[in-house]
Amino acid sequence: MDHLNSTLPSTNQSDFGSLFTHQVLPSLYFVICIVGLSLNGVAAWIFFRVPSDSGLVVYLKNMVVADLLMLTSFPFRVAAELNLGGWFLHVIICRYTAVLFYSSMYVGILFMGLISLERYVKIVGHTSPPCKTRLGVSSLHFLQSVGFARGLALFNWSLLLLCVLPNAVLTSQPANESNSRHCMQLKTPLGMQWHRVSTFFSVGLFWVTLLVLIFCYASIANQIYRSYRRVRQDSSEICRKSNRSIFSILSASTI
């Protein structure tokens, strides 16, 4: 009797896990894919009609491309979770679409960091005292250059591809139905080491970018708040409304 009672919770947990994996998770992937492709498709249609006359536009276009590439890997994941395509589809995910997903995701994260730096230079650099600008922000003004932004975008794509592409090449062990769902079993010994190194690199890149985002948006918020206080002392209603709008945009960008 005690044995039967002890097996019931584990059975219920396995049933719940199976239900979540095969029914709930594919639905979530499908919704994210449809909504993401729709929104990013509209964003791409808008941004690519805008001339690349500033560094910000270059970074935004590249971030949209990275998001679209990441979303193209979702249908494979949905099909695999619905047990479509057989075990070979899991091999394709391990070797190719998972690599596409993670490389595109981290490229998008990098461009988010560059956008925050560009906004930091644009707002803080133009509103700071000249002596403070010369000491810190002026050295980052090249981020607003179109030529430099394109070169930096090419460097970012190349760096991430060089980092994650070997994960696809070195996932070359013979595949079968028993190991198709275990990506690490498909990797060569060198592939396992490369996967470990690239994972540490990507996670470190994420945390560095997050710190850059926090610093930039905190500095921008502080600069806008100080400007708001000066405007408030001047009792300028128009300027106060303008600053409130900037605060709203800043909050949305941070979220």
Q: What is the pLDDT of residues 103-116, one digit of tens each?
A: 888 999 999 899 98
User: Under a CB-based contact definition with an 8 Å cutoff, are residues 198 and 167 in contact?
Assistant: yes
Residue 73 has φ and ψ, to the nearest 5°, of -80, -15
pLDDT for the residue 230: 66
Q: What is the pLDDT of residues 56-101, one digit of tens each?
A: 889 989 999 998 888 888 888 888 877 777 888 888 888 888 888 8
C-alpha 134/C-alpha 132 separation (Å) is 5
Spans in the chain with pLDDT lower than 50: 3-4, 6-8, 10-13, 16, 131, 133-135, 235
Identify the CATH homologous superfamily for domain 16-210: Rhodopsin 7-helix transmembrane proteins (1.20.1070.10)
Q: What is the pTM of this model?
A: 0.76
The dihedral formed by the CA atoms of 44, 221, 224 and 140, expressed in degrees to the nearest 10: -70
pLDDT for the residue 137: 54
pLDDT for the residue 160: 82
